[in-house]
């Protein structure tokens, strides 16, 4: 049964009531105060968790112009890992399968054919061990293995998902790093942040994060940074749905109670520009600093007005780069312990840095991450910024290589259903179903 028109109208009246209690001008002023007074050096318990890499500024670039600019990197590689999502079976097994692929722009079909597949399994039965060594199939183009997840009393689905996803991604990245000539962009963060969230979520998970198998996965990402740093090939991560709360939570602890549910919402507020902003109070360009080098560009801080006329849609806006040392990023900060993983370079070089991009055409905020090993150099910073802004402008979304990798690694609903049926056949048992499977039989998790 659907809602009658009168019900829809009544709900709309509730929205009107809520809207009448919200004063957006105060929120806009508060966001500007946060940008000016807090974000240049945000501290939590005396420790700096956010500070600019170079100048503290916001930038704007004309979409039509940046889309056509000469891009600093001739080739760009993207990498992603897709999963079937955790699946519980009646025999007590919890399984997830991850499938990683690397793409390149321009295309390289041999590279696109290469895949890394990991099936992670959790069981309460302590008498069996499902671990296998890496094996090769498809004329050597596919490597695969089964990983027996450490036993947990809760969170089994989250554990098998994270270990499968991050092991497949990091192993594939390391094994194919030598094929990357100019730039590697991961589809998502540069580190396995979900593993780092275990430390804060539950004591059992926190202990698990330091065990051998999760430790080895984290180590893969650290070694990837080192390998690409030695090859002078920048590593970045393009986060399509940033959701961190390190900044907003720190502000709240200082009594700054903003209306933003997460950090992305705060940056969205700071970066969108009203239609009647003619730019007379702001600056253009990618990033100021020393001239020359790849993607060089000048600029000055971009002012931002607010108003009710809607955002401008002819320009991308972005922050300049920040050091990130709060939340899960603290583990790879210079003063973090990387959950016990040895860092062979100066610990500062592994520190996550980021900038935020706002695309007014879709009203979407993206986050670009990179280790400080690469962004400490002004020329590389500008090159990364120029490259990604240009691709976002041209594609109205993720960079081409990232989109290609996402397409290669994605396991669609039909394929997920087929894989699960094959597991049921091999296990001689059924998947454990819920009422949602009855209610929506055509929806695959």
Which tens digits make up the pLDDT trace of 25-48? Answer: 557 789 999 999 999 999 999 999
Same domain for 399 and 376: yes
Which tens digits make up the pLDDT trace of 78-97? Answer: 999 999 999 999 999 999 99
Quote the CA–CA distance of 279 and 281 in Å, as a whole number: 5
Given a cut of 60, is residue 279 above it in pLDDT? no
Task: Give residues with Cβ within 8 angstroms of 82, minimum separation 6.
Answer: 98, 99, 406, 409, 410, 411
- Residue 168, both tokens: 């497949």
Indicate the pairing of strand 115-122 with strand 142-148. Answer: parallel
Whether residue 9 is contained in a domain is answered as: no
Quote the CA–CA distance of 258 and 28 in Å, as a whole number: 10
> Percent of the chain having pLDDT more than 90?
78
Q: What are phi and psi of 303, to 5 degrees?
A: -75, 165
Residue 99 pLDDT? 96
Q: What is the DSSP letter of 36?
A: I
Whether residue 12 is contained in a domain is answered as: no
Same domain for 386 and 333: yes
Same domain for 179 and 138: yes
Which tens digits make up the pLDDT trace of 391-411? Answer: 999 999 999 999 999 999 999
User: Looking at the 3D structure of the chain, how many domains does it have?
Assistant: 2
State the average pLDDT over residues 290-312. Answer: 41
Q: What are phi and psi of 47, to 5 degrees?
A: -105, 135
Of the pLDDT bands very low, low, confident and very high (cuts 50, 70, 90), residue 17 is confident
Residue 303 pLDDT? 38
Nearest Cα to 264, choosing from 287, 285, 283, 246?
Answer: 246
> In whole angstroms, what separates CA 372 from the centre of its chain?
16
Same domain for 290 and 431: no
Same domain for 107 and 28: no
Same domain for 259 and 347: yes
Residue 16 pLDDT? 75
Whether residue 223 is contained in a domain is answered as: no
Quote the CA–CA distance of 105 and 433 in Å, as a whole number: 41
Whether residue 6 is contained in a domain is answered as: no
Same domain for 188 and 168: yes
State the average pLDDT over residues 354-377. Answer: 97
Indicate the pairing of strand 184-187 with strand 76-83. Answer: parallel
Whether residue 354 is contained in a domain is answered as: yes
End-to-end CA distance of the chain: 25
**Average pLDDT of every residue of the chain:** 89
Distances in Å between the Cα of 351 and the Cα atoms of 31, 95, 335 are 26, 33, 9
Q: Is 9 helix (H, G, I), strand (E, B) or coil?
A: helix
Peptide bond into 106 cis (omega under 30): yes
Same domain for 176 and 256: no
Same domain for 34 and 91: no
Which tens digits make up the pLDDT trace of 232-267? Answer: 999 999 999 998 999 999 999 999 988 999 999 999
Quote the CA–CA distance of 394 and 52 in Å, as a whole number: 27
Whether residue 2 is contained in a domain is answered as: no
Quote the CA–CA distance of 188 and 402 in Å, as a whole number: 9
Neighbours of 281 (CB within 10 A): 11
Same domain for 432 and 367: no
Residue 297 pLDDT? 36
Whether residue 221 is contained in a domain is answered as: no
Range of weakest confidence among 306-310, 355-359, 398-402? 306-310
Spell out a b/e string for 374-388, using b for 16 or more CB atoms within 10 Å of the CB, else e.
bbbebbbbbbbbbbb
Given a cut of 50, is residue 300 above it in pLDDT? no
- Residue 81, both tokens: 């890992």
Residue 445 pLDDT? 45
Give the domain extent around 259.
23-73+239-406
Cβ(369)–Cβ(377) under 8 Å? no
Same domain for 244 and 160: no
Residue 294 pLDDT? 33
Same domain for 177 and 97: yes
Given a cut of 90, is residue 231 above it in pLDDT? yes
Quote the CA–CA distance of 445 and 416 in Å, as a whole number: 8
Q: Please list the helix, strand and coil fractions of the chain in percent, rounded to the nearest 5, in that order.
A: 40, 20, 40
Whether residue 322 is contained in a domain is answered as: yes
> Percent of the chain having pLDDT more than 70?
88
State the average pLDDT over residues 139-163. Answer: 96
């Amino acid at each position: 049964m659907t809602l009658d028109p009168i019900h829809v109208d009544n709900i709309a009246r509730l929205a009107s009531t809520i809207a009448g209690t919200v004063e957006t001008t105060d929120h806009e002023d508060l966001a500007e105060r946060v940008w000016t007074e807090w974000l240049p050096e945000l501290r939590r318990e005396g420790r700096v968790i956010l500070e600019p890499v170079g100048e503290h500024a916001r930038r704007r670039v004309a979409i039509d112009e940046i889309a056509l600019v000469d891009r600093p990197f001739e080739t760009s590689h993207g990498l992603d890992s897709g999963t079937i999502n955790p699946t519980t079976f009646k025999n007590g097994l919890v399984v997830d399968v991850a499938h990683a692929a690397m793409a390149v722009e321009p295309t390289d079909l041999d590279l696109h054919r290469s895949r890394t597949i990991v099936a992670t399994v959790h069981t309460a039965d302590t008498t069996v061990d499902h671990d296998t060594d890496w094996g090769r199939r498809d004329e050597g183009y596919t490597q695969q293995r089964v990983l027996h997840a450490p036993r947990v009393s809760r969170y089994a689905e989250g554990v098998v998902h994270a270990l499968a996803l991050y092991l497949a991604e990091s192993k594939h990245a390391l094994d194919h790093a030598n094929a990357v000539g100019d730039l590697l962009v991961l589809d998502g963060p540069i580190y396995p942040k979900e593993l780092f969230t275990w430390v804060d979520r539950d004591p059992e998970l926190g202990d698990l994060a330091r065990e051998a198998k999760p430790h080895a996965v984290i180590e893969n990402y650290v070694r990837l940074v080192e390998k690409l740093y030695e090859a002078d090939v920048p590593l970045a991560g393009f986060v399509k749905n940033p959701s961190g709360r390190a900044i907003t939570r720190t502000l709240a602890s200082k009594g700054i109670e903003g209306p933003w549910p997460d950090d992305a919402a705060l940056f969205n507020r700071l970066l969108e520009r009203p239609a009647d902003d003619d730019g007379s109070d702001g600056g253009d360009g990618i990033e100021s600093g020393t001239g020359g080098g790849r993607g060089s560009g000048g600029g000055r801080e971009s002012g931002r007005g607010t108003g009710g006329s809607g955002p401008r849609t002819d320009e991308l806006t972005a922050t300049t780069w920040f050091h990130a040392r709060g939340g899960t990023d603290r583990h790879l900060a210079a003063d973090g312990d990387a959950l016990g993983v040895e860092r062979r370079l100066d610990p500062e070089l592994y520190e996550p840095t980021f900038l935020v991009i706002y695309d007014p055409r879709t009203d979407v905020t993206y986050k670009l991450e990179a280790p400080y090993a690469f962004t400490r150099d002004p020329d590389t910073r500008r090159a990364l910024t120029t490259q990604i802004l240009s691709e976002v402008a041209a594609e109205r979304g993720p960079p081409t290589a990232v989109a290609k990798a996402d397409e290669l690694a994605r396991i669609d609903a039909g394929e997920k259903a087929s894989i699960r049926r094959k597991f049921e056949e091999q296990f001689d048992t059924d998947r454990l179903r819920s009422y949602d499977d009855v209610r929506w039989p055509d929806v695959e998790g």
